[in-house]
Structure 1
Amino acid sequence: MGENARIIVADDHPLFREALQQALAPAMPGVAFLEADSFDSLQATVAACDDADLVLLDLEMPGAQGFSVLTWLRTEHPALPVVLVSATNDAAVMRRAVDLGAAGFIPKSSPVDTISEAIGTVLEGEIWLPEAALALDESQFSADNELARRVASLTPQQFRVLDMLADGLLNKQIAAELEVSEATVKAHVTAIFRKLGVRSRTQAAVAARRIESTTRPPP
């Protein structure tokens, strides 16, 4: 594991952030932890620490929807590895996270030794997933792999527009929500259609809900 690594822990639960750092510190001497409790604070932390080595990202980060934060990080900071940390043990969600650019996925129920191993593996430039995800039958979700790659190509703003479009909002409503012009929204919608390979708002909505069903953990 790299000496003096800088790891951003992005989770809205302060007790989890503290417990994670206290548990990992003995096994990771010299590692510095930085904290973020929302999407806004994560943006500020990443901007202030451009030499960070890793982000441990809660899948349900406040201010985000689905994998939108992962999408933002992969778009704006492609060299910064991101490992998702979540209460879910759904192997398909874990594999989908990697499809969308994550360097790994760690269930919060994992023992400290496993979490430390996962972080060390990612810091060495490799992908880490639990055995259950590695053993998953590719045929269970391969049909959506191409769609996942297309969704991953959206910018964070396009991702938000797609989500609102799927909720049935009109361009005028989306513009008001995002505080941009209708022309800007129309440009985003056009780009979304092109990237997803669809021709209508209905087709885009269907694609959004299809990928969402495979990226959100079960309730």
Structure 2
Amino acid sequence: MHEIRVVLGDEQRSFVEALAMRLEQEPFIRVVAAVTRPEEVLRVVRAQPVDLAVLTVDRHGGLLDLGPRLSAARPELKLVGVAGTDDTATMARAVQAGFRAWIPKDVGICVLLDVLQAVCRGETWIPPGLLTLLLEHLLTEQEQKRRAEEPLAALTAREQQVLRAMSSGATRDEIARQLCISGNTVRTHTQSILTKLGVHTSLAAVTLARRAGVG
């Protein structure tokens, strides 16, 4: 069997070291590194060939958002998420970040090994009981984005620039400097944006924009 080179990442040193010891007992798995910080995972992936990154993810963890950077550093790398939660939104974020599998943290070793081999073969693995919830969440997100995009189509190119700057957190003065326009012009564009989007505050406009993927 082809040797699977794995990097493990978890904020808890005891967990990641215990998992490394168990996986090292398998003749077809070589644990390249077992680390606790996102920067360490990225460093390992950039430095040497790795087939799988098995990372513990949660809604606040940096390992989840590391996915795109790891894929950019090594496109052939496959990502496996180990989760202590069944939070559907977090699972959806993981899938969108490039994770190919979602494994409960208390999964048995036999299932874990099967999943690692399946992902190496190019398969995706989501627990059957969560797959329907994941698909419903992704479809709902897609519909919300579609609805949010509709009113944005009425904005002029300059208004879209102003809204994008607002979504990035820029102040009125910062927007004026970025776009080389006056503060009064920014105010005028902002009022027009609110009117066209059918909202009453800049915060509501930014929320709508972010749902549409702007900012």
Match of 1:110 in 2: 107
The alpha carbon displacement at 1:127 in A equals: 0.5
For the residue of structure 2 that corresponds to 1:136, the secondary structure is: helix
1:142 corresponds to which residue?
139
Number of the residue aligned with 1:6: 5
* Partner residue, 2:65: 68
Amino acid paired to 2:21: Q
Q: Distance in 2 between matches of 1:46 and 1:67?
A: 15
Cα-Cα RMSD: 3.6
Q: Which of the pair has the greater relative contact order for Cα pairs under 8 Å at 6+ separation?
A: 1
Report deviation, 1:43.
Answer: 1.8
Structure-to-structure mapping, 1:156-175, within 5 angstroms: 168=169
Q: Is the 8 A contact 1:40 1:63 kept in 2?
A: no
Determine the structure 2 residue equivalent to 1:150: none
Cα distance in 2, alignment partners of residues 63 and 89 from structure 1: 15
Report if the CA contact (8 A) 2:16-2:36 is conserved. no
Aligned residues: 166
Q: Does 1:98 align with 2:60?
A: no
> Deviation per CA, 1:143-171, whole angstroms, max 9, x where unpaired?
21485xxxxxxxxxxxxxxxxx8795769
Q: How do 1:1-219 and structure 2 match up within 5 A?
A: 2-26=1-25, 28-33=26-31, 34-49=33-48, 51-60=49-58, 64=62, 67-136=64-133, 138-145=135-142, 168=169, 202=203, 203-204=205-206
Which amino acid in 1 is paired with 2:29?
Answer: V
CA distance in structure 2 between the aligned counterparts of 1:13 and 1:137, rounded to whole angstroms? 27
Q: Which has the larger radius of gyration?
A: 2
C-alpha distance in 2 between matches for 1:10 and 1:104: 15
Quick one: structure 1 residues 4 and 139, their matched pair in 2 at CA, closer, same or farther if it must change by over 3 Å?
Answer: closer
**Mean CA deviation greater in 36-45 or 132-141:** 132-141
Specify every segment of 5 or more residues in structure 1 that has no aligned partner in the other structure, as ranges. 148-164, 174-181, 184-198, 212-219
| Structure 2 unaligned residues grouped into runs of 5+ | 146-165, 179-196
* 1:103 to partner: Cα distance: 0.9
- Asked if the contact 1:106–1:115 (Cα under 8 Å) also holds between the matched residues in 2, the reply is yes
* Alpha-carbon distance between aligned partners in 2 of 1:29 and 1:18, rounded to the nearest angstrom: 18
- CA distance in structure 2 between the aligned counterparts of 1:76 and 1:105, rounded to whole angstroms: 22
Cα separation, 2, equivalents of 1:70 and 1:168: 24
Kindly state the Cα deviation for residue 58 of structure 1 after the two structures are TM-superposed. 2.0
Return closer, same or farther for 1:24/1:67 CA change in 2, 3 Å cut-off. Answer: closer
